[in-house]
Structure 1
Amino acid sequence: MLMDPDLEIRVKKATERISENMHIVANEPSLAFYRLQEHVRKALNPIVDRRSDVLKLHQELQGRCYDVEYAISAIKAMNKADTSFKNTLDHIKNAIFVKQQLKYEESRKKKPEPNSVYKRLSAHITLDLTELSELSDVVRETANRVESMMSKAAHSSS
């Protein structure tokens, strides 16, 4: 049998192409799985990080929800304390009224006059006598004499 070299080259190329196509078809699922594995390897770490962030935010949000619920219950409890606050306010008003009455009664009492003449005299003197030391000594001596005379008169009359 005599073979044509041109035909032999064509048959060889055709069988190589068929073999290559069979190899591609046979390995295509492996290639797809490789691409999937590559994608998962690249995307998995960011997804895990995001999930942990979401879980952390969820816990913080849950804690804040508990805080809000606690605040709401405290406000509701304060609304229930309205009568206590009103009673306290009434007691404060009564205390202020009694204090005003006591102050009024105290102001109605006659104020006692100062005991010493010198104190009465010094209440009316507005002149600064510190520069006139001789005059201030005389005034002080006179005040003491007047005061002693007044006290003797008070003792003798009683």
Structure 2
Amino acid sequence: MSADSDLDIKVKKSTERISENMHIVANEPSLAFYRLQEHVRKALNPMVDRKMEVQKLHTELVGRIYDMEYAISAVKSIEEMEKTYKSIQDNLKSCIFLRQQLKYEESRKKKPETNSMYKRLSAHITIDLPEITSDMADVMRETANRVEHIISKSTHTNSNNQ
């Protein structure tokens, strides 16, 4: 009986394992789909956010690449203008030199100042004047106005006579 009981025990264990495996295999797809659904639900929103962030960064990168290409072309065009800048610099140096020559010639051609007696005298006289008061300033203003009025009146009468 021992061979039969051993055989019975082995058959029972085998059938239990087969039954258990059948149960696992039968429920495995639904469990797998549940796990997939759970994973997708948890991972989808962050993935969408990341995708939107990557698209935004891509747009910014394209703009910056365009800016860099534009800057590089500007620098290259500046490098190509080196001869022109050199010519401008040479012309400026020439202009400065010619202007200095003109100033020198003008200073040589200036008429010597007439050294009148009054100029020589005024150079030696130093007078300490007290501060001009507002009354004196008013008198000077009034006198200047009168002189201007007389001059304008005389020019007006001279133009009418002619």
TM over 0.5: yes
What residue is the counterpart of 2:45 in the other structure? 45
What does residue range 130-145 of structure 1 map to in structure 2 within 5 Å? 130-131=129-130
State how far apart, in whole Å, the 2-side matches of 1:103 and 1:124 are.
Answer: 31
What does residue range 24-103 of structure 1 map to in structure 2 within 5 Å? 24-103=24-103
State how far apart, in whole Å, the 2-side matches of 1:121 and 1:18 are.
Answer: 138
What is the percentage of aligned positions where both structures have the same residue? Answer: 70
State how far apart, in whole Å, the 1-side matches of 2:95 and 2:124 are.
Answer: 38
Q: Secondary structure at the match of 1:93?
A: helix
Greater shift, 105-114 or 78-87, is seen at 105-114
The gaps in structure 1 that reach 5 residues or longer are 1-14, 132-158
Cα deviations by residue, 1:78-128 (Å, 9 ceiling, x for unpaired): 111111111111111111111111111111124342586444432343x23
Q: Which amino acid aligns with 2:127?
A: D
**TM-score, normalization: structure 1?**
0.62
State how far apart, in whole Å, the 2-side matches of 1:114 and 1:124 are.
Answer: 17
State how far apart, in whole Å, the 2-side matches of 1:120 and 1:53 are.
Answer: 88
Cα deviations by residue, 1:54-90 (Å, 9 ceiling, x for unpaired): 1111111121111111111111101111111111111
**TM-score, normalization: structure 2?**
0.61
What residue is the counterpart of 1:108 in the other structure? 108
Higher relative contact order (CA 8 A, sep 6+): 1
Please give the root-mean-square deviation of Cα atoms over the aligned residues, in Å.
2.7
* Alpha-carbon spacing, 1:82–1:124, altered in 2? closer, same or farther (3 Å): farther
The gaps in structure 2 that reach 5 residues or longer are 1-14, 131-162
State how far apart, in whole Å, the 1-side matches of 2:75 and 2:120 are.
Answer: 62
State how far apart, in whole Å, the 1-side matches of 2:21 and 2:82 are.
Answer: 88
Q: Number of paired residues?
A: 116
* Alpha-carbon spacing, 1:118–1:60, altered in 2? closer, same or farther (3 Å): same
